[in-house]
Structure 1
Amino acid sequence: MLQALFPKKPGTEPLAEAIRACRAHLLFAFGFSALVNVLYLAPTLYMMQVYDRVVPTGGIMTLLFVTVVVVFALGTLAALDHIRSRILVRAGLRLDRLLAGTVLNRVIGSRESGTKVAQAMRDFDTFRQGLSGQGALALCDLPWTPVYLLVCFMLHWTLGMLTLVGGILLFILAVLNERSSKPRIEAATQASAKAYMAQETIAGQSEVVRALGMRQAMITRQLKERDAAVTAQSEAQFIGGRYTGAIKFLRLVLQSLALGAGAWLAVEGQISAGAIIAASVLLSRAVQPIEQVVGAWNGIVQARAAWANLTELFASTADQDRPRTLLPKPAGLLTLDGVGVRAPAREQPLLRHVSFTLQPGESLGIIGPSGAGKTTLARLIAGATEPDAGKVRLDQADYATWNPERLALHIGYLPQDSILFAGTIKENISRFEGMIDTPSEDVDARAIQAAKAAGCHEMILKLPQGYDTPLGPGGRGLSAGQSQRVALARALYRDPCLVVLDEPNSHLDAEGEVALASAIKALKTRGATVILIAHRTGVLQTVDKLLVLRDGSIEGLGPRDEIAARLQAGRQPAPRVVSSVN
């Protein structure tokens, strides 16, 4: 059972290691299950003693003695059953401590998108809960069914055969239930994940939905997606309920037949009167784990599917755990060599054969019409995504050879929509560095230094709580211009040698524009390499070079004045290129 949980795909070693770390818990639970199932024989033996010894002889002392013994046995059974349940819960907690951070790291570090990646933590919780739920207990009890079958044969071969045939029929029903319910449960899980993702997206953009009068339309759409998920879940439950009912009916019939067969054998003198009741109890206990497994089958299948999804996620992100040499701090030499990026749903690539080099301290402005690939190129240079072809290098080292976290320390990135997170302004500027045991004094000093470099120190001090002003999700609590200035400070945190600014002045007022120009000038002065994408041309007056993108390809690249002269000469209509927003 344990071996089946160990993934064998490359990159899934952390999953196998976590399961091995919980192996002691699972083995102890399995061992306690053996004791529990042996003690379940106590009521059967008690009944046999009462009917075979106490009733015929009137032995009250014998009755008292066997009653004390059976009460002690049942008390021990209850205690062991409680202990094994706690052990499985502890196994789930240990698994959470070992894997939760790793799963989150793989999700955030994954370059892929989709439902399976988005619901990875939900899959992990599903598996963890399945490991400590009723399904796990039923699976622990299932291997002891042959023990009860053997005891039935010891009473009489007829009772043993009745139990064996009944167990086979129940097993067949369980297999049919698995084949019928598995695809429906998987479909229900995927539909539910899709519905939840859509719901979270709508809730996060509720202001826009209300402002555009889309509330009823989005509710209708969400209800349709939810209906698909609920329908799929209901179908799975209907199928499971059908088989559960059939199994319960068969078990009750078998118990009754066991009583009848026991009575017939007792009349024939082949078994004692006590064995009549014992036969029914033993048969019931023998088939009960099968019934419990079928009853918990939906949860078992969901846990198994969740584990398979985690295995796929870890296999697809195996490169994250690859050991990398600790490279020295780069100077800022940026090289793109034949870079290409494909779009999953488009035949036309987003970028193709993009090549250029920037020396440390040089600045480059990127312009082009909407959809030219400017933001994709910015994300590529910032390390937010990977190329499908070609290489991006920093100081001649391919991005893929860098530890991603260490590489990010040397790159400052201001995305087009700022993207701040729930937390204080200081935490956002410092990239939440204080959460990883960095001394708070160092974090405070660097955050203030970055804010001063971005020209927003005084703006922050005027806020109600200054740098400790809390922000809601998405930076709620600041205006768009304030958010952009804070995001600029975050990009400048720790003095990166490469800074990528995508539409850095799209929400700025005149004061913000002045601060931005000053920050760019300071970056060039200290020798940082700067990439600028802007639709308002004022900020591009300071760059050394201009790159013109069209349909994902470089249409022009050279000194700023030379490219600007070409644009003005009409070789490329200036308004169309310069005023666009990617």
Structure 2
Amino acid sequence: MFKLLPDRPGVEPLAEALRACRTHLIWAAVFSALVNLLYLTPTIYMMQVYDRVVPTGGITTLLLITAVAVFALGTLATLDWLRTRILIRAGLRLDRQLADRILARIIDMPGKASGAQALREFDAVRGAVSGQGVLALFDAPWTPIYLLACFLLHPFIGVLTLVGGIVLVVLAVMNERDARPRLKQAHDAQIDAYSAQQAVAEQAEVVRALGMRRAGIARQLRQRRAAADRQADAQFTGGRYTGAIKFLRLLLQSFSLGLAAWLAVEGQLSPGAIIAASVLLTRAVAPIELLVGAWPSLVAARAGWKTLTDLFEGTADVDRPTTALPAPRGRLALEAVSVRLPGTEQPQVRGVTLQLEPGETLGVVGPSGSGKTTLARAVAGALKPTSGTVRLDGAEFEAREGDELARFIGYLPQVPSLFAGTIKDNVSRFAGATGTPPSEVDRLAVTAAQAAGAHEMILRLPDGYDTVLGPYGAGLSAGQAQRVALARALYGDPVLLVLDEPNSNLDQDGEAALMTAVRDAAARGAAVVIVAHRAGVLARVDRLLMLNGGAVVAEGPREQVLARMRGATSEEAAGR
């Protein structure tokens, strides 16, 4: 059974957001009640015209009841407009309450695909709250009121409405039963198609260079067609039920007119009740028809809400309050750290234990696939170990809030991963967006670029620090992007520096600047971890750690580890 707010840890922000919208929803429900009562106006007006005005020729009475009807209908239109505006504002408040928290959870979500979909799911929820879905739910409870009015008009009219309503409900239930799996399949197929399109767009240059345009287009078209076919199947199914419901409603309206006319001929109803019977029956079954039409959006919102609850439950630690700790000095400790990435069976890092003091430099080496990059990501706080603990000055990484921890860590990933924005934005980690004074951002960005030896290079760009980059740092060469990413890692003088293949795209001058930056960072007391294949950047590290198969095979002072590696190589050669 689906619960709006499951009793699970981590979903508290969702409850807070709903409470923030509670007043809007209450007023929308009140206005819906008034609107549905005022929908009786045409029925009462017609009965008065046929039963009082026509027989007596009372023009004054006609004018008076017409004025009352106009006022009532005007009030109805105003209230209907107001409840729509209230629900739109409820959707906006929901967005203000949750959008930033969802974005924060997406960043910490272990599964990228589910995280990337979360905002789209949230938009489905917000659309249902501010659209016809909630209005249909608010109008549905008033069907019994109109049914009662039909019985008061005449029992036969009430029975006709009741039977017709039951048939419509059965059709609605059948529609939901048949549409739910089809809508889910269409929804999942659309997600797959959009993901594939985005992946190809992000790697368009590689696709063109490798002659994969036609293959990529054919693959995308297959996925789009599959998604479109599933969506069409769901729409065809829903269309059949919608058409049947509309036919039945029109048939009921006609039957109600005929039945009321027969009752009027028999003297059991007044002539005014003939039209009133049709109007009442229409209003009694209209919420059911509206609910059927809004059902796909309600199903999408239900699925979206479940995705959000799973997302918040899976990232419950994000909002966990933490005690403010003093700034660390840079003492790093790994205690039996193991990492197994999602979707893999074997861990990429196995039981790594090490300690690094402030000012020490550690080089991490090993063959491709040995777990070096995964270890660097764990040390940088980019991913959480599957088991074991990473500590900074004795405190677990989780003891500090994510952004607070990141202030003390400088991370240069294997791929520079720059973002759309200016050079200054990228170097400063977009600090200006969080309210840091522009003068402070400028000063720290320039200082970091100078420490990375990238200041002169940046000044030679067309607009210097204000040069605008495209997505993924488009506009810079690979070497330039790596030097800007190094400056970003050094921003704010972090006490822990993690550099993954920092010289892979650097020329001789860039590598010299890198070595200077590492030496200066260590001299001011930062602990430095460097993952590298090329030996040049490891020439001056204090210690080496060698990985193989995710496990540590050697660790200690640089010369000792190198001697051990040379000895192992000699023994292997002798064995041959």
Matches within 5 A, 1:7-18: 7-18=6-17
Q: Are 1:567 and 1:573, in contact at CA under 8 Å, matched by a contact in 2?
A: no
**C-alpha distance in structure 1 between counterparts of 2:8 and 2:246, whole Å:** 40
Q: Give distance in 1, aligned partners of 2:31 and 2:472.
A: 50
Q: Distance in 2 between matches of 1:353 and 1:223?
A: 45
Quick check: 1:320 aligned with 2:318?
A: yes
Partner SS for 1:542: coil
Distance, in Å, in 1 between the alignment partners of 2:48 and 2:17 is: 48
Instruction: Render the CA deviation track for 1:486-525: whole Å, top value 9, x for unaligned.
Output: 0000000111111000000000011101100110110111
Contact kept, 8 Å, 1:6 with 1:19, in 2: the verdict is no
Structure 1 residue aligned with 2:101: 102
Provide the rounded CA distance (Å) in 1 between the counterparts of 2:3 and 2:349.
Answer: 43
Report if the CA contact (8 A) 2:364-2:544 is conserved: yes
Distance in 2, matches of 1:534 and 1:572, equals 23
**Is residue 2:474 matched to residue 1:515?**
no
Paired position in structure 2 for 1:578: none
Q: Which amino acid aligns with 1:363?
A: T
Choose 522-531 or 4-13, whichever is displaced more. 4-13
Q: How does 1:131-150 map onto structure 2 within 5 Å?
A: 131-150=129-148
Supply the distance in 2 between the matched residues of 1:559 and 1:340 (Cα, whole angstroms): 23
Q: Following TM superposition, by how much is the alpha carbon of 1:283 offset from its aligned partner in structure 2, in angstroms?
A: 0.4
> Matches of 1:185 and 1:527 in 2, distance apart?
58
Shift of 1:4: 6.0
Tell me how far 1:345 sits from its aligned partner: 3.3
2:566 and 2:524 map into 1 onto residues whose CA distance is 32
1:246 counterpart (244, 247, 259)? 244
CA distance, structure 2, for counterparts of residue 135 and residue 264 of structure 1: 38
Deviates more, 1:230-239 or 1:535-544: 230-239
1:180 aligns with 2:141: no
SS at match of 2:539: helix
Which residue of the partner structure matches residue 487 of structure 1?
Answer: 485
- Number of the residue aligned with 2:329: 331
Q: How far is the alpha carbon of 1:574 from its aligned partner? A: 11
Amino acid at match of 1:286: A
Where does structure 2 lack aligned partners over 5 or more consecutive residues?
none
**Aligned counterparts of 2:333 and 2:570: Cα–Cα separation in 1:** 26
Q: Give, in angstroms, the shift of residue 370 of structure 1.
A: 0.8
- Which segment drifts farther, 449-458 or 254-263? 254-263
- Residue by residue, what CA displacement relative to the aligned partner does 1:120-175 show, whole Å, maximum 9, x if unpaired? 11111111111111122121111111111111111111111111111111111111
CA distance in 1, matches of 2:344, 2:104: 29
2:70 pairs with 1:75: no
The residue number in structure 2 matching 1:356 is 354
Correspondent of 1:367 among 359, 365, 369: 365
Residue of structure 2 in register with 1:579 after alignment = none
Residue of structure 1 equivalent to 2:261: 263
Query: Are residues 1:416 and 2:421 paired?
Result: no
CA distance in 1, matches of 2:378, 2:126: 36
Counterpart CA distance in 2 for 1:164 and 1:85 is: 29
TM-score by length of 1: 0.96
Q: Aligned partner of 2:443: which letter? A: A
- Alignment match, 2:340: 342
CA shift in 2, pair 1:573/1:291, >3 Å: farther
Structure 1 CA distance for aligned equivalents of residues 286 and 404 of structure 2? 56
Give, in angstroms, the shift of residue 7 of structure 1: 4.2
Q: Deviations over 1:14-36 (max 9, x none)?
A: 11111111111111111111111
Indicate the SS of the match to 1:556: strand
Within 2, Cα distance between the matches of 1:392 and 1:255?
A: 72
CA shift, 1:70, in A, is 1.5
Q: Contact 2:111–2:342 (CA<8 Å) still a contact in 1? A: no
- State the secondary structure of the residue aligned to 1:343: coil
**More moved, 398-407 vs 508-517:** 398-407
1:296 Cα shift?
1.3
Q: 1:296 is paired with a residue of what secondary structure?
A: helix
Find the aligned partners of 2:297 and 2:342 in 1 and give their Cα distance: 34
1:391 to 363, 367, 389: 389
Matches within 5 A, 1:44-59: 44-59=43-58
Question: Cα 1:186–1:334, aligned 2, differ >3 Å: closer, same or farther?
Answer: same
Q: What secondary structure sits across from 1:531 in the alignment?
A: strand
Q: Distance in 2 between matches of 1:351 and 1:42?
A: 73
Match of 2:558 among 551, 560, 575: 560
What secondary structure does 1:365 align onto?
strand
Counterpart residue type for residue 39 of structure 1: L
Question: In the superposition, relative to structure 1, how do residues 572 and 51 fare at CA in structure 2: closer, same or farther (>3 Å)?
Answer: farther
Per the alignment, residue 113 of structure 2 pairs with: 115
Task: Give the aligned partner of residue 225 of structure 2.
Answer: 227
Q: How far apart are residue 572 of structure 1 and its match?
A: 7.8
2: CA distance, partners of 1:227 / 1:284: 39
Aligned counterpart, 1:499:
497
Aligned to 2:39: 40
Cα shift at 1:83:
1.0
Measure, in 1, the Cα distance between the counterparts of 2:570 and 2:308.
50
Q: Which residue of 1 aligns with 2:472?
A: 474
Give the SS at the match of 1:332: coil
Aligned ranges for residues 199-214 of structure 1 at < 5 Å? 199-214=197-212
Quote the Cα distance in structure 2 between the aligned partners of 1:487 and 1:480. 10
Q: Distance in 1 between matches of 2:342 and 2:407?
A: 30
Deviation per CA, 1:66-113, whole angstroms, max 9, x where unpaired? 222212221211111111111111111111111111111111122x11
The corresponding residue for 1:460 is 458
Deviating runs (4+, > 4 A) in structure 1?
572-575
Counterpart position of 2:528: 530
CA distances 1:545-571 after superposition (whole Å, capped 9, x unpaired): 111111111111121112212333343
1:61 match: 60
Within the candidate set 376, 381, 387, 1:378 is matched to: 376
Q: Distance in 1 between matches of 2:549 and 2:3?
A: 49
Decide which moves more: 304-313 or 225-234. 225-234
Match of 1:274 in 2: 272
Q: 1:344 to 1:96 in 2, by over 3 A?
A: closer
* Count of matched residue pairs: 572
1:19 equivalent in structure 2: 18
1:216 to 201, 214, 224: 214
Letter in 2 for 1:468: D
Structure 1 unaligned spans of 5+: 576-582
Say if 1:423 and 1:470, in contact at 8 Å, map to a contact too: yes
SS in 2 for 1:174: helix
Cα pair 2:452 2:487 within 8 Å, conserved: yes
SS at match of 1:353: strand
Q: Distance in 1 between the 2:571 and 2:117 partners?
A: 46
TM-fit CA distance, 1:450: 0.5
SS in 2 for 1:119: helix
